[in-house]
Amino acid sequence: MKIAVLVKQVPDTAAQIQIKPDWSGIVEEGIKYILSPYDEYAVEEAVRLKEKFEGSEVTAVTVGPERAKEVLRTCLAVGVDRAVLIHDQENSFDPYSTAELLAKKLESLNLDLVLCGKQAADDDMAYMGGAAAQKLNFPFISLVVQIEILKETGKAKIRRQIEEGEEILEVTLPCVLSAQKGLNEPRYPSLPGMMKAKKKEIEEIKPADLIPDFASLAKTRQERLQPVPPRSAGRILKGSPEEMVKELVKLLRDEEKVV
């Protein structure tokens, strides 16, 4: 099998994020960057499928600045075979442009399966899996929690999470699947794996090498990045249940204007 994993480097989910004074982005100094957590499940599943089906190959692909090589080396350290960085030096490409670039590269890999996280931990758009599938003309299933490859039929049996439970689907390969928590338990990179990953070459591509008129692709632009307004302090009501209910209704009507 030929498998690709779409990955993204994001700020550590435990980091304290600060917005630049001009609201153009986040203050990057002192921020630790990591592999987006949902992408970890996609990478782990790709490596497990490689281990199950002899002769398989896994390629990790990302669009990002030079520092994004760090997450690609993390992927290589846990068993991914190849890594591709499509350069976005200012980390400013819009989602549509990013999906176009990824799809253009993926088209050249003759893939059986594309995996990705259900959403990135920084923008939470849940955009890239569906967009890449549409551009590749592949079927797409999101929120996947179990994958069974049926090689003899050229299909995959998929269990996915839905609002009130789970559903089981059968999909024809090649397809794009987005990973949900529970798909597996991601492994940690081993020391030998990390040492080998440092020596592996990462393929680097300029956007214009994939799409000559790339600069004209963008459909959206970020006007500004604004922090969520601070929450006001809570209020404790006192008295009997009847008195507190009357006070609550008064507050909702007179101050919050919701009733």
Which residues in the chain show pLDDT less than 50? none
Q: How many CA atoms lie within 13 A of 143 on its CB side?
A: 9
* pLDDT of res. 25: 84
DSSP state of 29: T
The pLDDT tens digits of the residues spanning 56-72 come to 999 999 999 999 999 99
The residues near 252 (Cβ < 8 Å, ≥ 6 apart) are 258, 259
Per-residue model confidence as pLDDT tens digits over 148-167? 999 899 999 999 999 889 99
pTM metric for this prediction: 0.87
Provide the token pair at 176. 């794009």
